């Protein structure tokens, strides 16, 4: 649900205290592309939109003061406070397959998702 342009999570959906987990492979991929060397980190955010109601926004960005910063292998993953409840208990990884390579979010809060995995509902 989106209220005043800000995503909201229904009560009881997730333990809001569980930060997302980032796999070794995701940190390894950030190292391969030189994110930290460029002064950047992987930002994972949740926005309203997409075919299922919410969508993930993944980008290289600089940390902001209120971000949750997850660190590993000299690299960082950032989550803003509005997105954090939607990503509670999620796992962020990187996958390389014949059809392409991408960061993937395995989100236990998603009740449905689109075929490509970038849009979901709670």
Strand partners, 84: none
Q: How confident is the model at residue 84 (pLDDT cuts 50, 70, 90)?
A: very high
- Neighbour count for residue 116 (Cβ, 10 Å): 9
Q: What is the pLDDT of residue 6?
A: 41
Fold of 2-9+16-121: Hypothetical Protein Aq_1857; Chain: A; (2.60.300)
120 pLDDT band (50/70/90 cuts)?
low
Q: State the pTM of this model.
A: 0.78
């Amino acid at each position: 649900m989106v209220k005043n342009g800000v995503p909201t999570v229904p009560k009881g959906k997730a333990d809001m205290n569980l930060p997302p987990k980032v796999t070794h492979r995701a940190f390894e991929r950030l190292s391969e592309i030189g994110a930290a060397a460029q002064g950047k980190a992987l930002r994972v955010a949740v926005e309203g939109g997409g075919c299922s109601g919410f969508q993930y926004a993944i980008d290289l960005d600089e940390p902001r003061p209120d971000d949750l910063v997850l660190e590993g292998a000299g690299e960082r993953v950032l989550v803003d406070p509005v997105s954090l409840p939607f990503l509670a208990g999620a796992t962020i990884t990187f996958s390389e397959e014949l059809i392409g390579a991408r960061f993937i979010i395995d989100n236990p809060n998603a009740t449905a998702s689109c075929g490509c995995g970038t849009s979901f509902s709670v």
